[in-house]
Structure 1
Amino acid sequence: MAKRFFRLLTELSSRKSVSRLTGAFAKSKLSRSLIPWFAKSYRIPIEDAEKSVAEYLSLNDFFTRRLKPGLRPIDNTEASLVSPVDAAITGMGRIEAGQIINVKGQDYTTQELLNQSPRQLNYTDGFYFVLYLSPTDYHRIHSPVTGKVIEKEHIPGKVYPVNEFGLRYMRRVLSRNERLITYIRHTFGELAVVKVGAMNVSSIRYVEPLPNELNAGDELAYFEFGSTVVLLAENGTFDPRNDLAVGSKVKVGERLGTLQPKE
């Protein structure tokens, strides 16, 4: 009963109108006074930020902060696929006939996640990572590979939470929430970077200008408040590190595994 009640409350509050109001406040100068409280509450390492706390003009400005240069070295091992974000792995594994199995007890399909795109056929037997960014994390998204942006798609949607509660108890949030999908062609195939919006602000923005050619570790986009990245590797092109598992923490530039030619 309690779970159904909280699910109902979340359904009612997960509307773009609510997110727009929350976002307007977070981007206003009025929110600036909340930055020290926010940083302390979430134990954010403010010493890692590019600027001092006093230099940020709003809570959103602080939330989308860059880090000091050199804090996230990029693994340059040949054929590496690197993490695009600082995050916890909340799902990972082989995609089975288009099925992404058991992400917090729920299954998804590549077809629904990619909004019926014809490209979903490239991932029906690939590999996936679900990478959750908490409010504590750095919220800029970087390219996981060196390659060329070949397609982009924005999918409007809901703004359900993508934390433990949202993934486990809300219905199929990864495929119902707003998404921004970037397809990147690399040496061995292609990759889909699916950026999933979340409750409250739910705004996902590309860096400007977004170049067509990216090096691994280049800035790609950023979240205005917490969310999730689903990373899909094309069929037969990826082997993960054997020490990674659900619950592992990763940082931008850390090697997730090795890309390889299709057999």
Structure 2
Amino acid sequence: MSAVDPWLARLSHALPHHALSRLVHRLARIESPRVQPLLRAFVRRFGLDMSEAAEPDIAAYPSFNALFTRALRDGVRPLEGDPATVVSPADARVSASGRIEAGRIFQAKGHDYSVEELLGGENDLAVPFRDGHFVTLYLSPRHYHRLHMPLDGTLTHAIHVPGRLFSVAPRIVRHVPRIYARNERVVALFDTRFGPMATALIGAQNVGSIETVWAGEITPPAAREASCVTWPERDIALERGAEMGRFNLGSSVVLLLPPGPLELEPALTPETEVQVRSALGRYTGRD
């Protein structure tokens, strides 16, 4: 940990989070030949593996946002395990994982937050996760930024919670209490064969927007209060590994899983790199 990290965290409180993110939202969508040198520099700087992309030619991407949301070519991320296997929703780095203890989720040393506040105060939706499991994943600029289903599921609720847009880089997460419950976020809840599952898509500094496949772009439109939409009448069912949304620029995902005999992968420790559709764990004793 750098000695300057606490100072960066304090500085982040004073930044105009939403104004900066709206600016980035516009800049990332500028389509111009003049963007190409910047895209090539970005690919070199962060080590993007364009051989994995459905379109490997950088010149085919008209804007930063198009590059960030690039599709992968077929076969690059095979789906691991069987229907009882929970797979990663993203290419990412593990921030934390484990049991939800009496309704509280571990963030970093000295910091935790409640499931209820993560879900925008929806206590009835939070109760089933009280003694469940969680995995927090951080997407860095070099990662693939589309998000995929960890289990087969049917959408039941979608929650948009307005909030701050602190950076979710690990060096900041260690010093900003309850950061995932304070940042703007979109939470999707699904019914699965093992019980309810929630994917909390966390907004962050410079994240242009968050999209889902069922509602399109949800942020950045401004809101002052949390909103919860019930979706059962739409019967939106997504298969394990299917695309469910995307970040237009990077952020984090907090995955909430129901109680039960879930065995997380032993290698699922902080700083571990995982790939989308790779196994995070498996519910044992199930077909």
TM-score band, normalised by shorter chain: over 0.9
Equivalent in the alignment of 1:49: 53
SS in 2 for 1:93: strand
Moved more, 187-196 or 25-34: 25-34
Deviation per CA, 1:66-103: give whole Å up to 9, x if none.
11111010114241111110111110111110111352
Cα distance change, pair 74–205 in 1 and its aligned pair in 2 (3 A): same
- Aligned equivalent of 1:232: 256
* Structure 1, unaligned runs of 5 or more: none
CA change 1:32–1:237 in 2 (3 A) is farther
Aligned to 2:221: none
After TM superposition, the structure 1 = structure 2 runs for residues 1-263 of structure 1, keeping only pairs within 5 Å, are 5-30=7-32, 32-33=35-36, 34-51=38-55, 52-117=57-122, 118-207=124-213, 212-236=236-260, 238-259=262-283
Deviates more, 1:35-44 or 1:5-14: 5-14
CA–CA distance in structure 2, aligned partners of residues 61 and 190 of structure 1: 33
Whole-angstrom CA distance in 1 between matches of 2:176 and 2:132: 26
Deviation at 1:209, TM superposition (A): 6.8
In the alignment, the residues of structure 1 paired with residue 162 and residue 285 of structure 2 have an alpha-carbon distance, to the nearest angstrom, of 34
RMSD over aligned CA atoms reads 2.1
TM-score by length of 1: 0.93
- Distance in 2 between residues matched to 1:216 and 1:231, nearest whole Å: 14
For 2:9 and 2:89, locate their aligned partners in 1 and report how far apart those are by CA, in whole Å.
Answer: 30
1:215-258 deviation line (CA, Å, top 9, x unaligned): 11110000011100000101225221233222221111111111
User: 2:39–2:58: 8 Å Cα contact kept in structure 1?
Assistant: yes
Encode CA deviations 1:107-141: one digit per residue, 9 max, x unaligned.
11111111111210011100110101110100100
Deviation per residue, 1:165-189 (Å, 9 max, x gap): 2201123211111111111111121
Count of aligned residue pairs for this structure pair: 262
Deviations 1:20-40 (A, max 9, x none): 011101111147321111111
Contact 2:24–2:208, Cα closer than 8 Å, also in 1: no
Alignment partner, residue 228 of structure 2: none
Contact 2:166 2:179 in 1 (8 A): yes
Q: Any gaps of 5 or more consecutive residues in structure 2?
A: 217-234
Structure 1 residue 259 displacement after superposition? 2.5
CA contact (8 A) 1:191 1:233 kept: yes
172-181 or 206-215, larger mean C-alpha shift: 206-215
SS in 1 for 2:155: strand
**2:83–2:240 contact (8 Å) kept in structure 1:** no
Question: Aligned equivalents of 1:172 and 1:192: distance in 2?
Answer: 18
Q: Write the distance in 2 (CA, Å) between the matches of 1:236 and 1:14.
A: 42
